[in-house]
Amino acid sequence: MQPNDNPSTLQLPFSRRGKLLVGVLRWLYRLVAVWKGRQWATPPVEFEENPRYMTRAEVVYLGYKYYFRPPPLPDETTVRHFGEQTLDFTPPGDFRSQSRITLSAGGDLMPYEWINPAATQRLWDETGAFFFGSDLVFANLETPIDTQRPPSLVPEVMLSNMLFNGSAAMFEIFSGRVPGGAFRGKGYDVVSTANNHSLDMGESGIRRTMDFLESRGVAFAGTARNAPERNRFPVLERRGIRVAFLAYTYSLNQFELPASQPWLVNHLRLNAPDCPIDAIVRDAALARQRADVVVVSLHAGFAYQPYPLARTVDLFHRIFEQAGPDIILGGHPHVAQPMEKYVFRDPFSDRMKAGFAVYSLADFVAYDIFVWDRLPLMLKLTIEKGVVGDHSHTQVTGVDVLPVYNWGSKDAKREKQLRFLDLRKTVAQVQRGQRPAFMTDLCEREVMELNRYWQQGFGKVG
């Protein structure tokens, strides 16, 4: 089945009210499709997906691709390029390894109603050891955590501006430490706090978020309390390998940075055509002075699309070529987008270098009604440091990814339940006629659609 043959199957609201609202929206967008369907087969050329700069027509378009018809696949060249990625990061033949670490990376941590202790008792049972078993663990914290204010959650059906706020209890669930749960994860070493919801609780909210993370011993990238702190990027060392983290966001939704505090959030209009990246180049040069590996987290790209647009691919490639990071971790599209090995000439060493990029890690600890959002990627990279000839050499040497089926109970009359299931294992169980007892026929259709999506976009990796 091609993804647009039956778009209605991609939305699975939970409540009766949600089903009614989505039904009405689909009916309205069916009328819009008669007028705009042909034009919206591809995204508008100047569309940034940035609420502060959206026209009314672009707001309607965003809802159209979410509630009614996701964009079709891009040209065959793009599909083939990503489908043929083998992600071979074998080091040079004369490389002598001296140290090795692993880095786990997950996508967007978001404050959904489902993220509560009762619903997540078994969330991490099957996949937590894989994800939290790395030397460094990273994700994008897509919500403030202002403990002086009540939580503000993602609505089931999104119809207007949303202001998020998580809680300390929710962060424990994000971190693999569900109260009463059997699995206990070590939590995060570092998170990105630069995303389009950074300022949802205002300036005080982002400051309290940074204070909260500091109190938990979690480093953060992409926000700062003052100008000097902005240039003190987190550099974490494990077994002699120093890894720097930088983070940037394409948007702050309807908000703007205070003119007197431009360092509060690293905001660049990354989705605009030919966005200047001078700030990233400058930051990467500073980070490289203190680190063996530079990781850039980009909250950018376009939502609910299985592939990045050409301008996003160009953005990633320009960052590699001009800023020289080793790893780019993409987020914001909410759905998984492909991975890539990109070979370029390093601007610092002038040597050829292989960079790793994932265009979107997808929603992570979250539960959206859009089916493709229920395929988080748990990424694990191996990084090795050693020598080649007479110079030090550090690089990614291995890529492991666990595609996850974010299973949620489907009966609105019963308690909500979430579990992260190994997608490939679950598909094999379904194909043998041995699906888990808690899965319904609807779950089976859902997991097979996610498997189709995974095979389409990740090809040889899967």
pLDDT for residue 177: 97
163 within a domain of the structure (yes/no)? yes
Residue 459 has pLDDT above 90, yes or no: no
Tell me the mean pLDDT in the region 133-140: 99
289 within a domain of the structure (yes/no)? yes
Residue 462 has pLDDT above 80, yes or no: no
Tell me the mean pLDDT in the region 427-456: 94
pLDDT digits (tens, 9 = 90+) for 389-401: 999 999 999 999 9
Instruction: Report the domain count for the chain.
Output: 1
412 within a domain of the structure (yes/no)? no
55 within a domain of the structure (yes/no)? no
- At 276, which CATH number? 3.60.21.10
pLDDT digits (tens, 9 = 90+) for 2-17: 444 444 456 777 788 8
Domain extent, residue 370, equals 80-406
428 within a domain of the structure (yes/no)? no
pLDDT for residue 4: 42
456 within a domain of the structure (yes/no)? no
Q: Residue 405 — very low, low, confident or very high, per pLDDT cuts 50/70/90?
A: very high
pLDDT digits (tens, 9 = 90+) for 58-92: 999 999 999 998 887 777 888 888 888 889 999 99
pLDDT digits (tens, 9 = 90+) for 5-56: 444 456 777 788 888 999 999 999 999 999 998 888 877 778 999 999 999 9
48 within a domain of the structure (yes/no)? no
276 within a domain of the structure (yes/no)? yes
pLDDT for residue 2: 42
pLDDT for residue 412: 61
SS (HEC) of the chain: CCCCCCHHHHECCCCHHHHHHHHHHHHHHHHHHHHHCCHHHCCCCCCCCCHHHCCHHHHHHHHHHHHCCCCCCCCHHHHHHHHCCCCCCCCCCCEEEEEEEEEEEEEEECCECCCCCCCCCCCCCCCHHHHHCCCEEEEEECCCCCCCCCCECECCCCCCCCCCECCHHHHHHHCCCCCCCCCCCCCCCEEECCCCCCCCCHHHHHHHHHHHHHHCCCEEECECCCHHHHCCCCEEEECCEEEEEEEEECCECECCCCCCCCCCECECCCCCCCCCCHHHHHHHHHHHCCCCEEEEEEECCCCCCCCCCHHHHHHHHHHHHHHCCCEEEEECCCCEEEEEEEEEECCCCCCEEEEEEEEEECECCCCCCEHHHHCCEEEEEEEEEEEECCEEEEEEEEEEEEEEEEEECCCCCCCCCEEEEEHHHHHHHHHCCCCCCCCCHHHHHHHHHHHHHHHHHHHHHC
pLDDT for residue 413: 65
Residue 362 has pLDDT above 90, yes or no: yes
